[in-house]
Amino acid sequence: MKIKNLNFYFFGDPGNYDEYNPSYICNKNLVPEILYIIASNKPFSISNYEISNILNINISKIDELINNLKIINAIEIKDDTYRLNFPVFLEKDTLQIQNYLKDIGEILCNKIISLSPLINEKISKLQCSKYQTTKRTLYHVICDYVFDDIAFDFFGEKNIFCTSKLQPDNRDYIIIAYENSKLIDTYSNHLLCSSNNYKSNGFTFNSFGDSDGSRKDIFRFFRMIQKNITDSNPFYNLSISYIKILDDMNKELIKNCGQLVNFIINKHPKYLDLCLNEKKLVDFLKELDYIDINELDNSISINVPFFYTYEKPIIEDISSIILETLFPTIKDFFENLSFNLPDLTSVKHNVPTKEIGNELWHQIFGATNEYLVKTNFVQSPEKLDGEGRYLKSITLNI
């Protein structure tokens, strides 16, 4: 019988891809199954011996993986039994959450649409409003920058939910896990609530959309390469040493890409006039669909909206207008979370409700984004086969 397992997501910065990185540890062979078994039982009710029997794996291997999980503080151990230290959502939790979230996306969407005159007046001050539709700009500003960035600080300061968790090796992230199931995929992976960002020297290459596939963006591409390195050979220490060097190289690469994008915007160079290294960067960004090259005149165009760091106050003003309006509704929702949802797996494992609330906020703003798309208030991202729905943007350090 095939043992069920978990899929993992990480809020914050997991840091270098090493023994303290939760993505590296949680996606090791058998770890998703071990954590599912712990999650599906009461806290401190199942032992390493029982897990070993269920998985038909030598107990020494189980203990090795359990120790890896303890190092990153993913579990608590008591007499060789275990409790989860992070929010997990199983199939049985889904119906409870859906009922609790019923109609909230539509309610919040309507409140935002009522603010259209104020929002649009602010949006018109952004540089990208000159060459992008208002709906495309609103998609990135509201669905991503407001909801999946500024809102965390806003609600965190008001102590509504947790936005930060100090982890071993001085890292700062929250692990979120979902049972690997079609039911949950239908409910969770199809919501517009996932922001991928790769940052270097103030430049950010972004994509925002659902989780229904493997996006072709910079963040996921670099992570895929790192995982392939560790999975393809038995030399762990060598792989980690190389990945650390590779991380520095990638940061330099993205800094150069950001500077090149800024150069293209301001100087309008032709592809044939670029030096060899600049052409390599253009070819790289073209493969990622951030830019395009006109074959007739060799002109280079930026395919996505670009924002400037100096425009942050404008986006913060938009955020303040929206979040202050939504705050009473959100506050009411979170105040009695553990009372209204006592049977959630995470509640039973005594995971702090403010950490659970972090993921539920993703569900709330994801549902709201779906209504914003449905009402045609923001642009609808095209679904790409195998990649899901998402749109890209760039932030330039100017």
Instruction: Find all residues with CB under 8 Å of 247, minimum gap 6, and list them.
Output: 16, 17
| Nearest in space to 140 (alpha carbons), one of 358, 304, 291 | 304
Q: Please tell me the predicted confidence (pLDDT) of residue 279.
A: 97
* pLDDT (0 to 100) of residue 188: 76
Q: Is the dihedral of CA 210, 211, 213, 216 positive or negative?
A: positive
Classify residue 299 by its DSSP letter. Answer: B
Question: What residues in the chain have per-residue pLDDT under 50?
Answer: none
pLDDT value, residue 16: 86
- Provide the strand spans (E) within the chain: 6-13, 75-78, 81-84, 88-89, 166-167, 171-179, 194-200, 203-209, 291-293, 300-302, 306-308, 383-384, 388-396
Please give the structure tokens belonging to residue 92.
Answer: 């049985």
pLDDT for 152 equals: 93
Token pair for 84: 């989860």
Dist. CA 141–CA 311, nearest whole Å = 11
State residue 71's pLDDT score.
Answer: 97
Dist. CA 75–CA 84, nearest whole Å: 5
Write the pLDDT tens digit of every residue in 40-87. 999 999 999 999 999 999 999 999 999 999 999 999 999 999 999 999
Task: Give the tens place of pLDDT for each residue, 143-181.
Answer: 999 999 999 999 999 999 988 899 999 999 999 999 999
Q: Where are the domains of the chain?
A: 94-168+313-382
